[in-house]
Amino acid sequence: MTTISRVIGRQILDSRGNPTVEVDVVLADGSTGRAAVPSGASTGANEAVEVRDGDPTRFHGRGVSRAVAAVNGAIASAVTGLDAEDQALVDETMIALDGTKDKGRLGANAILGVSLATAKAAALAHRQPLYRYVGGVGARLLPVPMMNIVNGGAHADNPLDFQEFMIAPVSASSFADAVRMGSEVFHTLRRSLAKAGHSTNVGDEGGFAPDFANADEALQFVVRAIEDSGYQPGTDITICLDPASSEFFRGGAYEYAGEGRRRTIEEHIAYLKDLADRYPISSIEDPMAQDDIAGWEQLTAEAGERLQLVGDDVFCTDADRLLDGVEGGYANAILVKVNQIGTLTETLRTVDTAYKAGYRVVMSHRSGETEDTTIADLTVAVGCGQIKTGSLSRSDRTAKYNQLIRIEEELGRQAVYAGGR
């Protein structure tokens, strides 16, 4: 009854107004799984490749009709008749059909859509929520959300060199409570920005995008918003950063264009450590660029004991790249983005590899998202305890928070909130 009988791909829009792939996988019993594919702006150099149509400056050029055609053609022919329960077989069939290392022939966007829709259809056929189908009865850990409240870098048109400033409500009593705390801080920040004459417009991930001159100014506003909301920075709510450093690493140094200055690798490391000394920062993602492995090693040696150092661009959700990090002793956590690697099976392998190496895992959205909430379920399925999925103000982001609220309610007394661990 869980045999795949139809696969339907279509082009829809993502949160930036760009075309993206959506897939329906229909099983013999009629169960239909639907998944929409996200898309990044600050992409890692070694990510699986999304296939787009020709000219990138035109809407039709940014289109995904070729990827959709791959779903409806070659992929549909190859996976129809397979059992949706055989997730690894479905995924491996698509990987073999594509035949490239980066999924660039059929497109990681085509393959991921089918992969996730297959899992969702199988879950439905078993009358199970996705988090339980993938994670089993042990799946009951609700993540601490890293909520993005200030955007910069590639996600906003302001001078801020760092891409993301996030808050993590670690002292919340539940996930729903964490959302309430985050929302309070978000609105408090809005008021204080307006009062200071700053713009309250938001960036791609829904965080505010005022013309802050540097990270210090952003951090001061964030700390004050936490305090003014009645919380203790560092105890109730910690701060997480994603400078997305690969975006401004040029010629062997860090080019802070917004600040109008250049920092050597040494100076960049010293600056990050100084920020972590002066503000209640618990986690920094991509503190160093994907090509600056020596910098990664140095920072991990100097600050890895006290800070979570999350590898995004440097690992690209790839288990083998992660193993390079484990061997080289850099980073102590990995950001997991399903579209960086392109199938559910490979995503689960990466998570497993991280756990075995003692690396923490943060499940993550992309800056281009849709209303799809698959990553909310996957976060609970793998029990990684942390999710990064944007601000509290855009429905492409709140969709994930809202799904986690529903999962927590459904789990009832079994639910465990990961804060304070």
Give the footprint of Mg ion on this chain (CB under 5 A). Answer: 242, 285-286, 312
**Cβ contacts of 61 within 8 Å, gap of 6 or more:** 52, 53, 54, 55
Instruction: Please work out the total of residues on this chain that contact ligand 2PG, with binding judged by CB under 6 A.
Output: 12
Phi, psi of 80 (to 5 degrees): -65, 130
Cβ contact 340:115 at 8 Å: no
What is the C-alpha separation between 81 and 99, in angstroms, rounded? 21
Q: Which DSSP letter does residue 33 get?
A: E
Paired tokens of 303:
């600050």
Binding of ligand 2PG by 367 (CB under 6 A): yes
Whole-number Å distance between alpha carbons of 115 and 109: 10
**Minimum Å distance from CB 331 to Mg ion?**
12
Query: Which range binds ligand 2PG by CB under 6 A, 35-43, 73-81, 90-98, 193-201?
Result: 35-43
- 238: tokens are 């910690």
By CB under 6 A, tell whether 103 contacts ligand 2PG. no
Rounded to a whole number of angstroms, the distance between the first and last alpha carbons of the chain is 41
Based on CB atoms, which residue is closest to Mg ion, 204 or 286?
A: 286
Report the residue from 41, 82, 323, 357 that binds ligand 2PG according to the rule CB under 6 A.
41
Q: Does the active-site annotation cover 337?
A: yes
The option from ligand 2PG, Mg ion, none interacting with 364 (CB < 5 to 8 A, set by class) reads: ligand 2PG
Residue 356 in marked binding region: no
In whole angstroms, the minimum distance from the beta carbon of 41 to ligand 2PG comes to 4
Q: How far is the CB of 366 from ligand 2PG (least distance, A)?
A: 4
Residue nearest to Mg ion (CB): 312
- Output the DSSP codes for 122-135: HHHHTT--HHHHHH
The DSSP code sequence of 246-281 is GGGEETTEEEETTTTEEE-HHHHHHHHHHHHHHS-E
Residue 244 is a binding residue for ligand 2PG (CB under 6 A) = yes
| One of 20, 31, 43, 87 touching ligand 2PG (CB under 6 A) | 43
Instruction: Confirm whether residue 274 is marked as ligand binding.
Output: no
3-state class (DSSP) for residue 42: coil
The SS3 call for residue 339 is helix
| Binding residue for ligand 2PG, selected from 42, 300, 308, 374, defined by CB under 6 A | 42
Task: Pick one of Mg ion, ligand 2PG, none as the site partner of residue 14 (Cβ within 5 to 8 A by kind).
Answer: none
Question: Residues in the site for ligand 2PG, rule: CB under 6 A?
Answer: 40-43, 164, 205, 242, 244, 312, 364, 366-367
Which residues are annotated as part of the binding site?
A: 163, 242, 285, 312, 337, 366-367, 388
